[in-house]
Amino acid sequence: MTGGRMLTLEQAQERLLKLVTPLSIERVDMEGALGRYLAEPLFARRTQPAADVSAMDGYAVASSDLAGPWHVIGESAAGHPYAETVVPGQAVRISTGALLPAGADAVIVQEDLARVDHHVTLTGDAPSPAGKHIRCRGMDFPEGREILPAGIRIGPAQAALAIAAGHKHLPVCRMPRIAVIDSGDELAPDPETCEAHQVPASNGVMLAALARTLPVEITRIGPVADHLDALLAAFETAKDVDLVITSGGASVGDHDLIRPALEAWGARIDFWRVAIKPGKPLLVAVKTAGARQQIVLGLPGNPVSSLVTAYHFLLPVLRAMLGARSPLPLSFDACLAAPLPASSDRREFLRGLWDGATVTSHVLQDSGALAALAASNVLIDRPAGMPAAKAGDPVRVYLLQNGGIA
């Protein structure tokens, strides 16, 4: 475990991800694979397209005869190819996606032709080059080519590609089993009966909702009282999951019992405290039983701190367990719409709103300010010790998965 020195965000993420091993591989149908990560490279089992096909509606002719006129001898429709051979002076009516007949190696679009009965004449431009409107065999991919690398997330386009390449099932890592433990004597399980000395227990639902942006199986536990026996019982309930997430109790107060409870449970604290704001009292522990390993992610109890650390640590752990090749969140540059004050001695992640062109930081940045969090769609990355920034200055931002905000 690290001593008094706080880790940087990148150091903590690297250290955490070194603890993660992708979960076991299973083969699932295409709908079951959506949202998951490909566990092995995927190779095409067929050539696409399997033969030359038309990219436009028009007439298929021989390229040696692009001046016409032509006698129409039949039709090739998608799924219903023309079976005979085309010779110069002949044309076959063809639709988009239909196979080119034998002897035809050019398609003239219907807008460039005039047809009277079974005869067509050129009224516009012949295709140049002659194969301009043809999708040649193997244009998309040939049989045997790698079409998707391991670690890529399967979305609608990837699923369509895999099916087109002849796949019905895909190899993916099994879904992580996680437990979310909400702890704290101040937590009211029912927000409709919350007394003045309590706060509604919102973190468990919030963290579970964030985790469910990935394919996971979730057990929610709590709220759990600030008692060592109660926390030990909660950890024991979670003994069969891959990842335990706690919220609250990871700091150094008299009632912060997550660390002693984990140690009593047999877990080893790997590191504690990260030099970010909000989210400094982040804790990572490991419980080992034989060849099996559980990771424990202890998040701060303040809801904003909890979400910010979950964004930077929980989601990357889950992606890594699912076999993602790039588990860390992506960031991009945006211009400030308004000035920002100088940053503190810790790296800050300010809640803000990005409108597609500029980003604005919310005035209230308290780690308990849920209204500002719900009105945010980005985290603004302010490195430690940065001078004041003015409107128009670039800043690094992370796009939140935050519900109804674009």
Q: Which residue has the tokens 């919220």?
A: 247
pLDDT the model gives residue 42: 98
Angle subtended by helix axes 228-237 and 258-265, to nearest 10: 60
Phi and psi at residue 194, to the nearest 5°: -85, 125
- Which residues, in sequence order, are CB contacts of 290 under 8 Å at separation 6+? none
- Which residues, in sequence order, are CB contacts of 393 under 8 Å at separation 6+? 335, 336, 340
Token couple for 19: 């603890």
CATH entry, 53-135, from 2.170.190.11, 3.40.190.10, 3.40.50.1820, 3.10.129.10 = 2.170.190.11
- pLDDT tens digits for the chain (406 residues)? 555 689 999 999 999 999 999 999 999 999 999 999 999 999 999 999 999 999 999 999 999 999 989 999 999 999 999 999 999 999 999 999 999 999 999 999 999 999 999 999 999 999 999 999 999 999 999 999 999 999 999 999 999 999 999 999 999 999 999 999 999 889 888 899 999 998 988 999 999 999 999 999 999 998 999 899 999 999 999 999 999 999 987 665 555 789 999 999 999 999 999 999 999 999 999 999 877 899 999 999 999 999 999 999 999 999 999 999 999 999 999 999 999 999 999 999 999 999 999 999 999 998 888 999 999 999 999 999 999 999 999 999 999 976 544 3
Domain ranges of the chain: 9-23+175-321, 27-47+149-173, 53-135, 331-399
Residues 382, 122: Cα–Cα separation, whole Å? 65
**DSSP notation for 133-162:** TEE-TTSSB-TT-EEE-TT-B--HHHHHHH
CATH entry, 331-399, from 2.40.340.10, 3.20.20.210, 3.30.360.10, 1.10.150.20 = 2.40.340.10
Q: Return the CATH number of the domain spanning residue range 27-47+149-173.
A: 3.90.105.10
β-pairing, 177-183 vs 243-247, is: parallel
Q: Is the pTM of this model over 0.85?
A: yes
Residues 351, 376: Cα–Cα separation, whole Å? 6
CB 217 within 8 A of CB 243: no
pLDDT the model gives residue 201: 87
Residues 21, 230: Cα–Cα separation, whole Å? 30
- Which residues, in sequence order, are CB contacts of 192 under 8 Å at separation 6+? none
pLDDT the model gives residue 402: 65
Cα angle for residues 170, 402, 285 (degrees, 5° grid):
70
For residue 388, the one-letter residue type is A
Phi and psi at residue 16, to the nearest 5°: -65, -45
Class of domain 9-23+175-321: alpha beta
